[in-house]
Structure 1
Amino acid sequence: MTEEPKPKSKRGFASMSPERRSEIARKGGKSVPAAKRSFSQNADLAARAGQKGGRNVAPENRSFSKDSALASMAGAKGGAATKKPGSKEP
């Protein structure tokens, strides 16, 4: 007599629609006043934090350092995402 595994029930965020999850995530971002978002106010602080995080990743796990094409594609994708419609930037 073998028991079949019970299917996992979706609870919490897993049970929500993507729209609802996005709505909740936006509220979290808005809960901190812009003046207190240190990375948005201080680019040098953000850069130093990113460098520190990068140093804490073992070289063999740094995918961009191993694959420059991957890094280039990611940069292009990020650049395309930040361009505003109607901007004169290439």
Structure 2
Amino acid sequence: MAKNNNGKMSREQAGEKGGKATSRNHDQEFYEEIGKKGGEATAKNHDQEFYEEIGQKGGEARTRQRKNNKSS
């Protein structure tokens, strides 16, 4: 793993290393459970307007992606 000029890992490198270690130590069920918990926490902390906004943004991004694929 590459080091910064000061000989330390970057945050990105540390995150990647931690993510790889986590994936070696846990199975699909672990990820399903933390995803479910995260979804429940998000639902508890946000209202319908939040979901409408992110749905709108997702739709716009998907439209741009489709347009880019057609022009390629």
TM bracket, shorter-chain basis: 0.3 to 0.5
Q: Which has the higher helix share?
A: 2
TM-score normalised per structure 2: 0.44
TM-score normalised per structure 1: 0.38
